[in-house]
A = this chain, B = another copy of it.
Amino acid sequence: MDARDSAPATASGVGDFTGRKVLITGGLGFIGSNLAIRLVEQGADVLLVDSLIPDYGGNLFNIEPIKGRVRVNIADVRDISGMNYLVRGQDYLFNLAGQVSHIDSMNDPYTDLEINCRAQLSILEACRHNNPGIKVVFASTRQVYGAPTYLPVDENHLLRPVDVNGINKMAGEWYHILYDHVYGIRAVSLRLTNTYGPRLLMKHNRQGFVAWFIRQAMDNQEIQIFGDGQQVRDMNYVDDVVDALLLAAAWDGANGGIFNLGNSPPVSLLQFVERLIQVCREHGMSEARYRLMPFPPEKKRIDIGHYYADYQKIRTVLGWEPKVPLEEGLRRTVQYYLQYRNHYWSPT
């Protein structure tokens, strides 16, 4: 045990992962690639596993800044033999691979089950049998809470998921906690809220509203907000989420724990869209605009109403705090896609 194991690192303690061997599942995806870039900058020895399933978030262009400095292994986390091999010798596993579309999980519950439940079990079994000393950080989701019964939602809120994805992510999270408690596979679960930033999947609108709004605004299309736009959310810029992942990995005091991410103040969808449009206009996209639309029934059925998290626990235990204000995060995001749009979507 060294200093890294006995006190929270700070997110700026960039030397912590030097020379450390790090495996990231979903490593070509939105959050995985942003995490990989940070880790490579810190001198970590990073291995990315991704299946590049066409409609999922994986995109080889995401790791352009670290091309040649990171190893990429195209594999599916459902492949037990592959995972048995790939976890060996790793110090850290950031377990970010997942099916993340709520709508897809309702249309094809079995695929969601295979990825978000069965593969999580087999990843943990791979660690247990091949590398029990590994430290695992799991990306869970606010979706496990379902429709909040009080706000802000802390970790003591009941889990009442409203879609198949939320149910399966709940099980996947608890496998991690179980393997920590029973087998000593050190694991932490972070319940992510809406995350945005460069490298977000923009190909389709089935992974949440954020990407789709940004794409519509940047395409000078009318953004369609379902309902009255007053639904409240908390939004994290991806760099802040990367901070949280690194802190959770670095400090063993978090092991076996579950932590909400979040941000304050929360914003309504309308406020989010208005700031997005303002940022787009600053960058010359003068036609960005929005309209309120009735909720389509299949989305309304799994809508959760207002949500924002109480993230006092991670603030206290790990010293995490989101740092990037919404306007600044949106600015960086829009600038990224202005430069690299053609790697993310075709102009409409």
Output the residue of A118, A171, A302 with the most chain B CB within 10 A.
A171
Extra contacts, 4 of them, besides A109-B175, A113-B117 (Cβ < 8 A), are A113-B121, A159-B159, A167-B171, A170-B174
A163 interfacial contact with B, CB 8 Å: yes
Closest 9 CB pairs of A and B: A171-B171, A167-B174, A182-B301, A109-B121, A167-B171, A113-B118, A161-B174, A117-B117, A113-B117
Output the residue of A122, A160, A174, A302 with the most chain B CB within 10 A.
A174
* A residues 174-190 in Cβ contact with B at 8 Å: 174-175, 177-178, 181-182
Q: Among the listed B159, B161, B171, B177, which residue makes an inter-chain contact with A117, where contact means beta carbons less than 8 Å apart?
A: B171
> Across the interface, which residues of B come within 8 angstroms of A131, CB to CB?
none
A168 interfacial contact with B, CB 8 Å: yes
A114, closest chain B residue (CB): B118
Proximity bits, A306-324, B CB within 8 Å = 1, else 0 = 0000000000000000000
Residues of A within 8 A of B (CB): 106, 109-110, 113, 117-118, 121-122, 125, 156, 158-164, 167-168, 170-171, 174-175, 177-178, 181-182, 301-302
Q: Chain A interface mostly helix, strand, loop or mixed?
A: helix
Tally of this chain's copies? 2
CB <8 Å contact, A175 and B164: yes
- Interchain residue pairs with CB less than 8 A apart (26): A106-B182, A109-B121, A109-B125, A109-B175, A110-B121, A110-B122, A113-B117, A113-B118, A113-B121, A121-B164, A156-B158, A158-B158, A160-B174, A161-B174, A162-B181, A162-B182, A163-B178, A164-B178, A167-B171, A167-B175, A167-B178, A168-B171, A170-B170, A181-B301, A182-B301, A182-B302
Q: A118: shortest Cβ distance to chain B, in Å?
A: 6
> Across the interface, which residues of B come within 8 angstroms of A175, CB to CB?
109, 164, 167
> Across the interface, which residues of B come within 8 angstroms of A106, CB to CB?
182
> Across the interface, which residues of B come within 8 angstroms of A110, CB to CB?
118, 121-122
> Across the interface, which residues of B come within 8 angstroms of A122, CB to CB?
110
Q: A276: shortest Cβ distance to chain B, in Å?
A: 30
Q: A79: shortest Cβ distance to chain B, in Å?
A: 14
Q: A120: shortest Cβ distance to chain B, in Å?
A: 10
Output the residue of A118, A159, A163, A178 with the most chain B CB within 10 A.
A178
> Across the interface, which residues of B come within 8 angstroms of A118, CB to CB?
110, 113
Q: How far is the CA of A109 from the CA of B178 in the complex (A)?
A: 12
Output the residue of A109, A125, A159, A302 with the most chain B CB within 10 A.
A109
Q: Among the listed B156, B161, B174, B177, which residue makes an inter-chain contact with A178, where contact means beta carbons less than 8 Å apart?
A: B161
